[in-house]
Chains A and B, each alone.
Chain A
């Protein structure tokens, strides 16, 4: 097991549900692995597929996009549109020969602190199984 290797995982999460859920995990002192770095956006609908592709081509080992549950989006349906784009990016990753599991889209509500911790743990485990991003060597 590559214990020494610390994966680089980017989390792009929405302000209203998943960011609040991640805060709740903190208030509840739910412990999870520290191998994720967060960029906050107002809605997962803001996530441009190019952000994800850029992260991967420049060497990120994994990307987690997390928003509100369907029907709960603060902006009605931004999460739905965001999720559709993530499916598109996933198929694109597959086409270029990169494991699409490196990208994960989840839905964590503002009251699901425990779920957030579990999601991060899952993502970290998945990336550990997959190993470093092969594109890292090509990254500028």
Chain B
């Protein structure tokens, strides 16, 4: 094995010489980078992480073993390597022991690689001369009761890391300028808040909304807990601000079609769905002076097609040319081309304004932005899947968003709560909490939807207040009133006379004549069955990611959790960031949130998204591909493999060789994994480095 190793080193050295030419292009890395381990002096640091690692890994044994490894010049251990004293050790030892590479065996590089790279840099080494051995997340924590197994694995992980650290090169991150503009996808309260914050910070912001109006789910709500502010009263001023803000370019009835580029330089193609109605600005551009839609509604009055209005949860009609409600922003009508019969009555009614164009087609707009925020929101879980509760089967079973519209003064009934079956005011209303949430049957959602408890308390308050003598019954598992003034609100509703029954509802039966409903449940506090006849049932249905979340996230390369909520970069320390640099999350698309949390997360995302823009440039990790021209046969296979068009064939000294555009290369290595001639050098993941890791791996097993 030892003999083999030397052979490997010599080949690596050969590679180095050839590599020296392209790498030397980076002026800062002018010292000829070496991938020979011959003179490498690696410092190894083993972290106890309190007892997180030390509890399952024999640290002294690992330390003794690390000392025997080739190229290891110094070994130390410390309780918390990420603390200041731990990092100081690295900084001081680099000078004292003339180290050329650093290995820290601790947690995951996804957590602390940046920390230790900084320490390596502080010690005077290039930060990319650092390699991490993951002995916690992939060691002690997954082999907690196998001390020998975990210790052996830690030794091997360190050996593999040392092999790579001995061959690491100096690398210089590439600084690229950041476009002074941002994109926000989704204009609910999260997207609006984020866009306003960015705009107020002086950043040009494109706000893209799939619906014809901004406002999102919050605009459908009647009142908000626990303050009982009217939702519209606090939201519409914000909507107007968004419509007016100079720095916000609002694109409603539009969606993201394509995303290219990287942090600082995203090229985004936005599809503007055919609206069929011109805004005054668009009309003027077409030479129609004083024309365009002014929201007068003459078209709607003559339109003969009637469809349900999704804003009113399909409980109110709209026409084929419509607005959701009178407060929409922008106040521009939209033609629903799926139901429009193109009779042309609206065009006549519109007259001289000439706002309606029934031949409108998709338009594609390209924008360039530095950062992007996804605020994609949520949909209601289709609660009819839980058929024991009879939603959509029984007339008087509604979901909570339908209840919001029924009790809202601007809703289909003008705020008078009535039973859908006969229009009679109910006297007894049952609320089913956790309807489809905290459900492990495989039909519902396993998570807590977080805001249903509180809005159900608010609903109970609203019917007590509005309908004298009406009794709300709340069937609950636990009341989760976790926020500021929430528990106090819960007590208040109890005092107001709402009845609380702890128990999950088994099923609901309908009297076919009266359309009354019998709720069958068990009161688990009193240990007795309940058969309660009520006039109406409200299902506090679970929430789920909005319908186009999956499509949009894939365009931005953002991962999702198993429930479909978008995955944050770190659940605690980076809840607004994603694994795609420059893309941030706001609001419920990251996980269920009430309005205060949504707005807070939107402000967080806006702040995070403005940092690179204000800084003016970002550093890209220098994991670029490089062509080893002596080896390149100019076959061009790699050019087709690259998903970013970063590679091209160029003429050099009478033959074709591949050339990399570093700014386009994202460092995936798909070209390097294929090149038949081994002519592609993937910085930081170079073939000799990976081969050295595999060689080091193969040395194991014989302890």
Contacts and interface: CB of A to CB of B under 8 A. Distances in A.
A45 B6 CA distance: 29
A111 B559 contact: yes
B698 A8 contact: yes
A41 interface: yes
A110 to B, nearest CB: 5
A47 B698 contact: no
A126 interface: no
Interface string B139-150: 101111110011
Nearest to B134: A38
Interface string B649-685: 0000000000000000011111011100000001001
A71 B697 contact: no
Contact of B4 (A40, A60, A140): A140
A138 B109 CA distance: 36
Of the four ranges (under 10, 10 to 19, 20 to 34, 35 or more), the interface on chain A belongs to 35 or more
B690 interface: yes
Contacts of A48: 672-674, 687, 690
A22 B134 CA distance: 11
A90 B670 CA distance: 19
Nearest to B553: A72
Interface in B91-139: 108-111, 134, 136-139
B435 interface: no
A64 interface: no
B111 to A, nearest CB: 8
Contact of B567 (A37, A42, A59, A110): A110
A46 interface: yes
A58 B674 contact: no
A117 interface: yes
A23 B145 CA distance: 18
A31 B108 contact: no
B525 interface: no
Given A23-B108, A46-B669, A72-B559, A39 B153 contact: no
Contacts of A77: 643
A42 B698 contact: no
Contacts of A41: 669, 685, 690
Nearest to B133: A38
Nearest to B669: A46
Interface in B257-286: none
A15 B561 CA distance: 16
A37 B697 contact: yes
A1 interface: no
Nearest to A109: B559
Given A74-B580, A85-B674, A111-B567, A42 B142 contact: no
A76 B697 contact: no
Given A26-B108, A39-B694, A42-B667, A34 B150 contact: yes
Contact of B697 (A39, A110, A140): A39
B288 interface: no
A81 B554 contact: no
A78 B1 contact: no
Contact of B668 (A8, A40, A45): A45
A27 B698 CA distance: 28
A8 B669 CA distance: 26
Contacts of B153: 34, 37
Of the four ranges (under 10, 10 to 19, 20 to 34, 35 or more), the interface on chain B belongs to 35 or more
Nearest to B559: A110
A101 interface: no
B641 A81 contact: yes
A29 B143 CA distance: 8
A117 B674 CA distance: 29
Contacts of A98: none
A73 B143 CA distance: 29
A46 B670 contact: yes
A112 interface: yes
Contacts of B567: 110-111
A59 B698 contact: yes
B623 A19 contact: no
A32 B142 contact: yes
Contacts of A29: 141-142, 144
A103 B521 CA distance: 53
Contacts of B149: 33-35
A43 interface: yes
Nearest to A132: B701
B690 A39 contact: yes
Contacts of A46: 668-670, 672-673, 682, 685, 690
Interface in A42-82: 42-43, 45-48, 51, 54-55, 58-60, 68, 71-78, 81-82
A77 B554 CA distance: 11
A60 B698 contact: yes
Nearest to A69: B559
Interface string A104-140: 0000011110000100000000000000000000011
A35 B141 CA distance: 14
A25 B560 CA distance: 16
A30 interface: yes
B509 interface: no
A43 B144 contact: no
A41 B623 CA distance: 11
A39 B698 contact: no
A55 to B, nearest CB: 5
Contacts of A82: 670, 673
Nearest to B641: A81
B691 interface: yes
Interface string B541-560: 00000000000001001011
Interface centre among B139, B157, B698 (most CB of A within 10 A): B698
Contacts of A37: 153, 156-157, 160, 697, 700
A47 B694 contact: no
A8 B703 CA distance: 12
A30 B669 contact: no
B668 A75 contact: yes
B263 to A, nearest CB: 13
B698 A23 contact: no
Interface string A1-27: 000001010100001110110111111
B697 A60 contact: yes
Interface string B1-37: 1011000000000000000000000000000000000
B292 to A, nearest CB: 40
B566 to A, nearest CB: 11
A138 to B, nearest CB: 13
A74 B156 CA distance: 28
A45 B669 contact: yes
The 8 closest A-B CB pairs, nearest first, are A26-B137, A46-B669, A45-B670, A34-B149, A75-B668, A26-B141, A43-B668, A23-B137
20 contacts: A17-B559, A23-B108, A23-B110, A29-B141, A38-B134, A38-B138, A39-B690, A39-B694, A42-B668, A42-B669, A46-B668, A46-B669, A46-B685, A48-B673, A55-B698, A75-B557, A75-B668, A75-B670, A78-B670, A110-B559
Interface of B: 1, 3-4, 108-111, 134, 136-139, 141-146, 149-150, 152-153, 156-157, 160, 554, 557, 559-562, 567, 579-580, 623, 641, 643, 666-670, 672-674, 682, 685, 687, 690-691, 693-695, 697-698, 700-701
Interface of A: 6, 8, 10, 15-17, 19-20, 22-27, 29-35, 37-43, 45-48, 51, 54-55, 58-60, 68, 71-78, 81-82, 85, 109-112, 117, 139-140
Given A26-B108, A85-B674, A111-B562, 12 more contacts: A19-B110, A23-B108, A26-B139, A31-B145, A32-B143, A48-B673, A51-B691, A51-B694, A74-B557, A78-B668, A85-B673, A111-B567
